[in-house]
A and B are shown apart, each in its own frame.
Chain A
């Protein structure tokens, strides 16, 4: 691959998906894109780049973008966010939405579905507290390939053993040899949609809780800041945002502020309001506000 071709691919990926590659990632491109090239009957990266320059090759362009995504995910990844979900976010939302009885949750880089299904399991575990509530989980990703896997909800023995408590495996999965399929009940709790975070959020509607984890790390600062600011606009002002363990809003945007003592958890920055876990005091304030 010539330096010019490498530059072309870097720019192409940055523009299509936000992915930023440093100077030295030729090996990564080769290992991920040679199989894509071969599948299209192209012998080299050079031939692939030539074809990508043709604007009619949108299928190939999608395949290139997808092949360069990193899709690793686990059930209950990092655990803490899911504790925040059941201990902080959901109790707060049950109070704040007591009239409406509706909560919308967005997994903005859903990958193969583990995050969305983990949230669905958390909701199931809350049991009758949610009777009469309408709770939507929307899982989106730029890659069709991972969304197909998420929809199918079939996981290997290896995948169900990283982060998923054995009791949950017994309760929410159906076994097929060494494959484990998420139960129909849980599957029906999540809607899947192909969606690129670089595009307008207009069609998505408003969300109370957003999980945007382990995707911003691949983008540059302006892209991160732009996405975070637009995410804040898709959110209810009293909602919650969760980022990945290695991600933060600090130094990027004023649209969110950290929730005290809850690592990785953020709230939209509404002037004149302080974000806090629902302590008795804030509970009273929100309770009286909402009622």
Chain B
């Protein structure tokens, strides 16, 4: 079973994402901000990370930068999932090493399509 870390400060979004990804046969762990996510990754590197942008403590972009510097941090496929939906943000995320990008609001079809796109399913 592939492991996906869901990083979002909204518990509602984490719950929705969890439900969709569990249906796609992922095992899920959650983090509320970039700092928590980074600590989890240092313990155990996931296969996939669904990543919000705006979060307290450490935002998604900074987390991504730190992640990619970690030992094994190139491994996880990172799919941003954020309300930031302008070309500037998307381009920055991709340059920072994101594999795909979901603009909120999202649904099951979009998550599935994007995870397929990066070869996770």
Contacts and interface: CB of A to CB of B under 8 A. Distances in A.
B90 interface: yes
Chain B binding surface SS class: helix
A74 B109 CA distance: 11
Interface residues of B, number: 18
Contacts of A79: 116
Contact of B87 (A165, A167, A175): A175
Contacts of A178: 85, 103
Chain A binding surface SS class: loop
Nearest to A163: B113
Contacts of A170: 87, 90-91, 94
Contacts of A167: 94
A161 interface: yes
A162 B115 CA distance: 11
A27 interface: no
B101 interface: yes
Contacts of A74: 113
B102 to A, nearest CB: 7
A161 B86 contact: no
Contacts of B102: 161
A163 B107 CA distance: 13
B94 A157 contact: no
B121 interface: no
B106 A161 contact: yes
